Amino acid sequence: MPWQPVRQADATLVAQLADGLARRIDEQGLRPGTRLPSIRKMAEQSGVSRFTVVEAYDRLVARGLVQSRRGAGFFVRARSGPLAPAASVPAPAGQAFVPPARVDIAWLLRSMFREGGGPGMPGGAGLLPAEWLDPEMVAGAVRAVGRSVRGHLVSYGHPQGFSPLRQQIAASLQSDGVPAHPERNLLTTNGVTHGLDLIARLLVQPGDTVLVEDPAWFVIFGRLAAFGARLIGVPRGPDGPDIALLEQLAAQHKPKLFIINSAVHNPTGHTLSAGAAYDILRIAERHDFLVVEDDTYGELHSGGAMKLAVLDRLNRVILVSGYSKMLAASLRVGYLAANPDILQKLADLKMLAGLTSPELGERVVHRVLMEGQYRRHIERVRQRVDEARQRCLKGLLKLGLTIRHEPQAGMFVWADCGRDSEVLARAAADRGMLLAPGTLFSPSQGPSTMLRFSVSMADDRGVWNVLEKLFA
């Protein structure tokens, strides 16, 4: 079996040997059932160590190309051919997305996570581009954690979450005026969505009324509907929800919860005023419902944003936030802050559903926070988002769209296109571009002329070319 390593090549000796043998297997140079040379013989023939051969053979086993037979050696496996992909109807050229008869939340989510992405993905995506973030900072934290944790990698974490991270979060919240104790008030989650799911599982029963903002983040509508909740929208303006209508709906329907984006609202980019914040808490106390404060995008605010959890001191307010948007989407690390009674019930529910959240990601986030880089990172990202948002606003206005109230912060622009936005989203899909129509952002799912745009498209010429054709 003639194989010789290439010294000082980019690929390691292990990779060279494993890849070389894999090619011979694929090309039928090594047929099924063939016994590979023994570890000792291969090492002698190739001039490499036995450890190199062992690792290369193990990689072939992991790929399913070779099987190990105890006491006999390593043998090429019989293969039934490559796995066929799931049956699908290929889309015509340039047609990246095929919407259903009615554009719905499930289709939009599937399209967002579609493998391969698409040139128009920034039009409706809820993530910032990787180049706007700091992958090297995250990678450095991953390497540092990998060097330090050792035995902790193979054990369960704490059900409430990695204690040093909770202490770090508590310190940050306390500096903002939220009286969060790391043991009594904090629970880590697999992101904000997981946190909201735990809250809904604990507090919402079929038939219960839940008040939500209109417009608001569409995923929570689908989740609450799955629990049998009755969703009622409260119109959201630049300063907050319609207070008079909130009072009226609370008196009429006796809701269990009111879910609100107080700072940097998705999709409008507006932030709650102090007066509206006081009114919401007053109404919640009078009608005895809890308030869930979603702070997913709060770090994109330049400072001084009103937090309901500060005013309420975690009595009726449950605060939900996380790090996926600003660090890395793959780091599903979020947290809940609540009063001790509710928090303990949420922690018990978390254990019943999945025991603990993965500690490795929590250690990575803790490392980033501990090293002091996060504050400067947030400032850089916020500046870039703010600049892109201004360019995006100018471009959309030039196309003839209407911005009723300019967003104060954040990564979205909520624009009126003057026509049925679902029809436009369907036309955009035909051109390989994903847009989020306004109908999805309302609990009523009624027709809408609004569209949510991501500012990450600001410098994407391909996106603007598609938009120019759509609005011509």
Q: Going from the N-terminus, what domains does the chain have, and what CATH number goes with each? A: 13-76 (1.10.10.10), 105-128+376-471 (3.90.1150.10), 135-374 (3.40.640.10)
pLDDT at 96 over 60: no
Q: Mean pLDDT across the stretch 240-268?
A: 97
Select the highest-mean-pLDDT range: 75-79, 85-89, 121-125. Answer: 75-79
In sequence order, what are the beta bridge partners of 168?
A: none
- Would you give the DSSP letter of residue 417? -
Categorize the per-residue pLDDT at 8 as very low, low, confident or very high, splitting at 50, 70 and 90.
Answer: low
Categorize the per-residue pLDDT at 381 as very low, low, confident or very high, splitting at 50, 70 and 90.
Answer: very high
Give 74: exposed, middle or buried? Use CB within 10 Å, 0-12, 13-18, 19+.
Answer: buried
Q: How many CB atoms sit inside 10 A of residue 213's CB?
A: 27
pLDDT in the model for residue 152:
67
Q: Which backbone phi and psi does 220 adopt, to 5 degrees? A: -65, -30
pLDDT in the model for residue 94:
42
- In degrees, rounded to 5, the angle at the alpha carbon of residue 243 between the alpha carbons of residues 238 and 248 is 145
**Which of the two residues, 221 and 98, has the higher pLDDT score?**
221
CB 108 within 8 A of CB 98: no
Q: In terms of residues, how long is the chain?
A: 472
For the chain, the distance separating the N- and C-terminal CA atoms, rounded to the nearest angstrom, is 65
Categorize the per-residue pLDDT at 350 as very low, low, confident or very high, splitting at 50, 70 and 90.
Answer: very high
Weakest mean pLDDT among 151-165, 167-181, 298-312:
151-165
pLDDT at 109 over 90: no
Residues 6+ apart with CB under 8 A from 108: 124, 218, 434, 436, 440
CB 312 within 8 A of CB 210: no
Categorize the per-residue pLDDT at 88 as very low, low, confident or very high, splitting at 50, 70 and 90.
Answer: very low
Show the tokens assigned to 159.
């059900």
pLDDT at 95 over 60: no
How much of the chain exceeds pLDDT 70, in percent?
Answer: 89
Q: Round to whole Å and give the CA distance between 239 and 205.
A: 31
pLDDT at 83 over 70: no
Q: Mean pLDDT across the stretch 326-341?
A: 94
Q: Is the pTM of this model over 0.75?
A: yes
Weakest mean pLDDT among 78-92, 152-166, 385-399:
78-92
Q: Mean pLDDT across the stretch 228-235?
A: 96
Mean pLDDT taken over the chain: 88
**Which of the two residues, 88 and 405, has the higher pLDDT score?**
405
Show the tokens assigned to 385.
């988002």
Place of tokens 């808490």: 281
pLDDT in the model for residue 118:
46
In sequence order, what are the beta bridge partners of 235?
A: 214
Show the tokens assigned to 377.
């990172």
Q: Where are the beta strands (DSSP E) in 24-163?
A: 66-69, 73-76
pLDDT in the model for residue 355:
85
Antiparallel, parallel or unpaired: β 240-241 and 290-294: unpaired
Weakest mean pLDDT among 81-95, 177-191, 222-236, 353-367:
81-95
- Whether the link from the prior residue into 267 is cis, omega within 30° of 0, is yes
Q: Mean pLDDT across the stretch 398-414?
A: 95
In sequence order, what are the beta bridge partners of 335?
A: 188, 321
Categorize the per-residue pLDDT at 64 as very low, low, confident or very high, splitting at 50, 70 and 90.
Answer: confident
Categorize the per-residue pLDDT at 92 as very low, low, confident or very high, splitting at 50, 70 and 90.
Answer: very low
Q: Within 13 A of 181's CA, how many CA atoms are on the CB side?
A: 7
CB 413 within 8 A of CB 269: yes
pLDDT in the model for residue 117:
46
pLDDT at 106 over 80: no
Q: Round to whole Å and give the CA distance between 403 and 85.
A: 44
pLDDT in the model for residue 114:
62
